[in-house]
Chain A
Amino acid sequence: MSKHHVTTKINGEETEFLCETQETLLDVLRNTLNLTGSKEGCASGDCGACSVIADGTLVCSCLMLGVEAEGKSITTVEGIAEGETLHPVQRQFLEHAALQCGFCTPGFIVATKALLDANPDPTEEEARYWLAGNLCRCTGYDKIIRAVMDAAAEMRGEARAA
């Protein structure tokens, strides 16, 4: 079984990899490219721990094949911060203690960035529905939602919302 050669862009860098036909993008990220920030919680698109942004669209990388990354631009959790400078979403998650075990956190960070890219001023309800595809079993979502709302406010240049 010969592997496929894929050329893509990951976190702004031109990247090439070989993958088997049935390998998911998540498998490739984790096992071939050693980008283990994206997590596998279910492999069925239900938990969102593997969330990445592909050409501007939020996707579960466990539901996308590695070969489908051909020619696309992929952002993973490793590409959210600008060098050593954390993205406001990352900083607000830390300040709000919006994580406990931290396993779902990469997915939430990526999904929140995608939300705020699409809707810089979400209501709490909009944020909750957007993030309904990301499961967190530790926090009860309270501090996550507060972090998201404050990150949104910060990115809009407003004072702290809560």
Chain B
Amino acid sequence: MNYIIPQSELKIVGTRPVRPDGVDKVTGRATFGADMTLAGMIWGKMLRSPHAHARIISIDTSKALALPGVRAVVTAADFPDIASEEAFVGEGPMNFRDLSRNCLARDKVLYEGHAVAAVAAASQSVAEAALELIDVTYEVLPHVIDVEAAMAAGAPILHEDMFTVGIEPKPTKPSNVAKRVAFAKGDAEAGFREADVIVEGRYTTQPVHQAYIEPHACLAQVAADGQAHIYSSTQGQFMVRAYCAKVLGWEIADIRSYPMEIGGGFGGKTLVYLEPVALALARKAGRPVKMVMTREEVFRASGPTSGAVIEVKLGARRDGTIVAAREVLKYQAGAFAGSPIGPGCMCGFAMYDLPNVDVVGYDVVSNRPKVAAYRAPGAPITSFAVESAMDDLARKLKIDPIALREMNGARDGSKTHYGVTHRDIGFLATLEAARSHPHYSAPLKPGQGRGVACGFWFNIGGESSGAVHVNEDGSISVVSGNPDIGGSRASMAMMAAEVLGVPIEHVRPIVGDTASIGFSHLTGGSRVTFATGMAVTQAAERVVDQLKQRAAQIWEIPPEAVEWKDGKAYPAGLNAGAFEPLTLAQIALKAGRTGGPISSEVTLNAQGAGPGFGCHICDVEVDRETGHVKILRYTAVQDVGKAIHPSYVEGQIQGGAAQGIGWALNEEYIYDKDGKMENAGFLDYRVPVASDLPLIEAVMVEVPNPRHPFGVRGVGEVPIVPPMAAVANAIRAATGLRMPDLPISPPKLRAALDAAAGAKAA
């Protein structure tokens, strides 16, 4: 069925009820990864490499094992040495061999913080003391941190078996370039010859961490027969189960994985770091083992997303028509292959209808932690460059920046340079809403500047399961297989309640463990409200069918003669017979006598996720003495399809914008000459705090996605794509300076302002 109907005809979807898990979260009762305890539990800790790049000559754990209170020590030798095998999960490729070697280093450590060994002991302090007793002999190797240095001839090679894929003929020498990818449409060279105006730029971005406030945490228990339980903070309990089984060489059915409440993920919890190690320790120790990362470990050994170097060239006719676009992208992957270079190559120009496009990307390893997905992986980086260049182009053409995007914006039928043709998209509607927003025409004071930038994300569907159970009293339980990061349980309950026609308070949603609900792909790709919501909606529809059938049975009329409305069964028309309506609770009460429990579980592979577009408007004021940028006003416009719970959709938009502002102005990984991270803590890696930001206005444009029953599009990733360029373009407007290197931190901006003033004076 289709519920893409006016809001006035919807009873629950589109309203703003209190979320079902809310009270637990404001009272401290919600149980997160590190909050779980089991009888007999002991503590696990990880020993990590002090070197950026070194060969492991030997590991001697005997002194640690002899320490009273130590129950087990594991190293890579306790795990199978698994073969290279590509698995596509979440939002990027993953190789199980690399995953295993990232959990515990084998032969070589590839970055400072790389896990080398783990200890389980009676207390945290004993475990920490034991780590100091593990003797690791290293042969320190030359290291390389920066992406272009890693690509240069003579750079230290991380993997002797890495030969660049995507180059013909196949290279004969190993390199740090894992892959070259290319996309082309039309003839870019010919396009540039037609152009009246050309802009070019070289941009750099730094790795930024997802910086969820909850560090990675898990608790593992293994019975004598090998059946295991793993409780963890993760974006996917099924992912944890599959990855642990793979890394340990166990059977999937032997592992039951429980998703705890998750304290933020943003893509960073779409893989495992601790879980296989905790399971191995628990098996060896014969006791439940809890492992929790410190914040320093989170920074040094998990996430972040890529830093990059991007070159952009745009050519346009004098009337504003863009005739050619070129981009070269070099993305850091960290210690193992697999940066989001693919989406990086696609997303920058995906918003525009361009005749001639040429994009080349490189996936480059260096001695940094392996990157993990971070909200629209790859897209914010490429869009910082492209949207900065679009701003320069608008300036050069003397065309309003939103008008330039409207002229060239993708619309239904636009074919992208990566082959996909856009359908039912809301980019132009988003641009129109931004242009007509009062913010866009509000006056600015001297010294202030306004910038705009846009963003795109594919959004995904995929495998999901959802179950709807009618309880004996007519209350409803909804079970899904997706950890709830930002309020998705509320959305699941609301869609089920809308279909069933019952008040939201009667619908209680939970996130099931791997034995309680069918397989579900992890929470990522902005897929849950779309794909899992589709499964829950269909399950609710099947429950309605059953309810109608039971009413028909009670009334002894055909099921087609029963109508379901507002949570009650009615005879459909006069011919059906004259019966008092039956409520859901009345039917539930008789379920045992009419055929047994009423419930449905739907599993599906959701197709047709509609892409999302955003346009952000940012006003800044620059302190010329300090280089500090104050964000004065921020408006984020986005095509959201249909907002099931508008408050949580706004929350996604506001949160994404705030993360992007941090990426633009402050956040970066800083390394010393030995390849060690110098700012592995929240004091020196500065995420935005409340006093850094204004209120962020989220404007929801609803262009329904026709392939979802309620018109849903994913909303969580688009909002982190535009902010970096929106901020940079606002700084350009305020100061006249194009800042191509992120972050635009106070010292960097002050130096640029001083240089510009010096040049003027000279």
Contact = CB atoms under 8 A, between A and B. Distances in A.
B395 interface: no
A21 B24 CA distance: 32
Interface stretch (A64-72, A76-84, A153-161): A76-84
B691 A46 contact: no
A18 interface: no
B572 interface: no
Given A101-B486, A102-B261, A44 B26 contact: no
Contacts of B447: none
Contact of A97 (B261, B262, B487, B659): B487
Contact of B689 (A81, A102, A132): A132
Interface residues of A, number: 59
B341 interface: no
Interface string B288-329: 000010110000000000000000000000000000000000
A94 B32 contact: no
Contact of B213 (A86, A125, A136): A136
A145 B214 contact: no
Given A44-B682, A137-B687, A94 B215 contact: no
Interface string B662-694: 000000000000000000011100011111110
A20 interface: yes
Contacts of A49: 213
B693 A103 contact: no
A44 B683 contact: yes
A12 interface: no
Contact of A40 (B21, B211, B215, B262): B215
B658 interface: yes
Given A20-B125, A101-B214, A138 B28 contact: no
B152 interface: no
B27 A80 contact: yes
A90 B27 CA distance: 8
Contacts of B294: 43
A58 B467 CA distance: 44
Interface string A28-56: 00100011111111111011010000000
Nearest to A27: B124
B647 interface: yes
A8 interface: no
A128 to B, nearest CB: 4
B23 A94 contact: yes
Contact of A81 (B27, B295, B650): B27
Contacts, number: 191
Contacts of B24: 102
Contacts of B22: 93-94, 99
A160 to B, nearest CB: 14
A160 B20 CA distance: 23
A47 B32 contact: no
A106 B124 CA distance: 24
Contacts of B690: 127-129, 131-132, 134, 136, 141, 144-145
B695 A43 contact: no
Choose among A93, A101, A129 the residue with the greatest number of B CB atoms under 10 Å from its CB: A101
A109 B368 CA distance: 37
B648 interface: yes
Contacts of B213: 39, 41, 47, 49, 101, 103-104, 135-137
A142 B695 contact: yes
Nearest to A106: B28
B30 interface: yes
A9 interface: no
A100 B648 contact: yes
Given A20-B125, A101-B485, A42 B682 contact: yes
Contacts of A127: 690
Nearest to A99: B25
* Interface range for B: 35 or more
A139 interface: yes
B26 A101 contact: no
Nearest to A90: B26
Given A140-B654, A140-B655, A145-B695, A102 B30 contact: yes
A61 interface: no
Given A44-B295, A140-B655, A37 B263 contact: no
Nearest to B649: A97
B178 interface: no
Interface string B495-536: 000000000000000000000000000000000000000000
Choose among A39, A99, A103 the residue with the greatest number of B CB atoms under 10 Å from its CB: A103
A135 B696 contact: no
A82 B262 CA distance: 27
A86 B26 CA distance: 9
Nearest to B657: A140
Nearest to B660: A140
A97 B681 CA distance: 28
A72 B603 CA distance: 54
A41 B659 CA distance: 17
Given A41-B213, A142-B654, A46 B28 contact: no
Contact of A135 (B18, B266, B292, B682): B682
A104 B681 CA distance: 17
Contacts of B687: 135, 137
Nearest to A34: B37
Contact of A37 (B29, B265, B688, B692): B29
A122 to B, nearest CB: 12
A57 B650 CA distance: 34
Choose among B25, B266, B645, B681 the residue with the greatest number of A CB atoms under 10 Å from its CB: B25
B40 to A, nearest CB: 14
Interface string B625-659: 00000000000000000000101101110111111
Contacts of A144: 690
Nearest to B33: A103
A128 B327 CA distance: 40
B648 A97 contact: yes
A100 B37 contact: no
B264 A137 contact: yes
Nearest to B485: A101
B688 to A, nearest CB: 8
Contacts of B698: 142
Contacts of B124: 27
B31 interface: yes
A41 B693 contact: no
Interface in A77-124: 77-78, 80-81, 86, 90, 93-97, 99-106, 109
A129 B23 contact: no
A22 interface: yes
A41 B261 CA distance: 15
Contacts of B31: 36
B659 A137 contact: yes
Nearest to A107: B213
Given A41-B215, A140-B659, 19 more contacts: A20-B125, A30-B35, A36-B31, A39-B34, A46-B683, A76-B28, A93-B22, A95-B18, A97-B650, A99-B26, A100-B264, A100-B487, A125-B691, A127-B690, A136-B213, A138-B651, A140-B655, A141-B688, A142-B696
Q: Nearest 10 pairs between A and B by C-beta?
A: A37-B28, A103-B263, A140-B658, A102-B25, A97-B647, A46-B682, A140-B654, A77-B28, A36-B35, A90-B26
Interface of A: 20, 22, 27, 30, 34-44, 46-47, 49, 76-78, 80-81, 86, 90, 93-97, 99-106, 109, 125, 127-129, 131-146
Interface of B: 16, 18-19, 21-32, 34-35, 37, 124-125, 210-215, 261-266, 292, 294-295, 485-487, 645, 647-648, 650-652, 654-659, 681-683, 687-693, 695-696, 698
6 contacts: A39-B214, A86-B27, A94-B22, A137-B264, A145-B695, A146-B695
